[in-house]
Homo-oligomer: A and B are copies of this chain.
Amino acid sequence: MSRIISVEDIDDLARGSAVLGTGGGGDPYIGGLLAKEALRRYGNVTVVSLDELPDDAVVACVSMLGAPTVMVEKLPSLDEIMRPVKELSEHYGRPITHIMCIEVGGVNSTIPVAAAAALNLPLIDGDGMGRAFPELQMVLPTLYGVSASPLSYADEKGNVGVLRTVDNAWGERIIRVAAVEMGCSIMLSGFHMTGATAKKALVKDSLSTCTNIGRTIVEARADKQDAVARVAEMLGGRVLFGGKVVDVERSTSAGFARGRATITEGANSLTVSFQNEHLIAELDGSVLATTPDLIMVLDHESGEPITTERLHYGQRVRVIAAPADERWHSPEAIEMVGPRYFGYDLEPHRFDGQVRPGRSISEVRIAS
């Protein structure tokens, strides 16, 4: 990635982020629109790698929280995007010096670009997950003891809040109900940390990685190559299955988009269960991959990432699995983001680049 992000980078960044967003993180087209608008209005954004980040930098995330199904219908204004950061800077501590992405995703990798442009602040080439997850506390910084608090949030109506909670799980609980009441999608800023902490706690170079993935998809298509296979290769992953989407069950409940998609090819059938993000892939009842590893659904031909809210009957897709950041496999991380946390009676099935079916699960119980 160049040392700046300009309008020309956004499509690749948004596309690649939606791939690593593993079905969640919002629609790349929507997120891209916002980032482009901000870049045109305020100029390019300077990108800082974790290596060159000053230890005394004051880093905070900017992100959208809510159900992606709602995010795509409720595009925030630039004013709304800036408000939580201003609130955080003004009322709780020193001014924010660097913006970071809390996760990788179509919206949550591009909204920070818009925020950085509008606030004239540099953006860190990194993020808090290396993928997307549905709940606030599910970030690597939580494992490093970084508090999400103070956490500021705003909606499009002008309501603004600041929250300090005893732990990040309480932050999730309180901000989630507020978000639901405020219309199922809000802007937030938090996870205030020093540059020194950010260097340890974030995933390095993730915006560059996303931009490369996005560019690779476009180039492969132009070269008549297999875009899906190229993405799998770049991520050290494998194509698990290809077929036609024959069924998508979904509901938006408690501020999340939950559901399951079924993809068939001949007599075989792969199901992908999701809560904002894809969590479990099962082939004919045998588990092939689980959270925290990455499960991605791409268009069979074009290689374009398909977020859960865009999944629909009749699409020809391929499903890729790839290993998550190593740190997601620690026991504390598995407790936070493993299959059991999401209500599946299942050990994590660690993906090692091979396709080895795990045990069959008779019943996949969706947490209510």
Which residues in chain A, 176-210, are within 8 Å of chain B measured between CB atoms? 176-178, 180-182
Q: Which of B92, B160, B174 contacts A178 (CB 8 A)?
A: B174
Whether a CB of chain B sits under 8 angstroms from the CB of A162 is yes
Give complex CA distance A173, B173 in Å.
16
Which residues of chain B come closer than 8 Å to A173, judged between CB atoms?
A: 181
Task: Check B163 against A160 for contact (C-beta < 8 Å).
Answer: yes
Give complex CA distance A199, B166 in Å.
38
Which residues in chain A, 100-159, are within 8 Å of chain B measured between CB atoms? 157-159
Which residues of chain B come closer than 8 Å to A164, judged between CB atoms?
A: 159-161
Task: Check A158 against B162 for contact (C-beta < 8 Å).
Answer: no
Which residues of chain B come closer than 8 Å to A269, judged between CB atoms?
A: none
Whether a CB of chain B sits under 8 angstroms from the CB of A91 is yes
Whether a CB of chain B sits under 8 angstroms from the CB of A252 is no
A interface bracket (residues with beta carbon within 8 Å of B) = 20 to 34
Give complex CA distance A93, B165 in Å.
22
Give complex CA distance A158, B163 in Å.
11
Q: Which residue of chain B lies nearest to A176 when distances are taken between CB atoms in the complex? A: B181
Chain B proximity of A172: nearest CB distance (Å):
10
Whether a CB of chain B sits under 8 angstroms from the CB of A313 is no
Task: Check A170 against B159 for contact (C-beta < 8 Å).
Answer: yes
Which residues of chain B come closer than 8 Å to A166, judged between CB atoms?
A: 157-159
Chain B proximity of A168: nearest CB distance (Å):
12
Task: Check B158 against A174 for contact (C-beta < 8 Å).
Answer: no
Which residues of chain B come closer than 8 Å to A174, judged between CB atoms?
A: 159, 161, 178, 181-182
Give complex CA distance A165, B159 in Å.
4
**Could you give 15 example pairs across A and B, Cβ below 8 Å?**
A91-B162, A157-B166, A157-B170, A159-B164, A159-B165, A159-B166, A159-B170, A159-B174, A160-B165, A161-B163, A161-B174, A162-B162, A173-B181, A174-B181, A177-B177
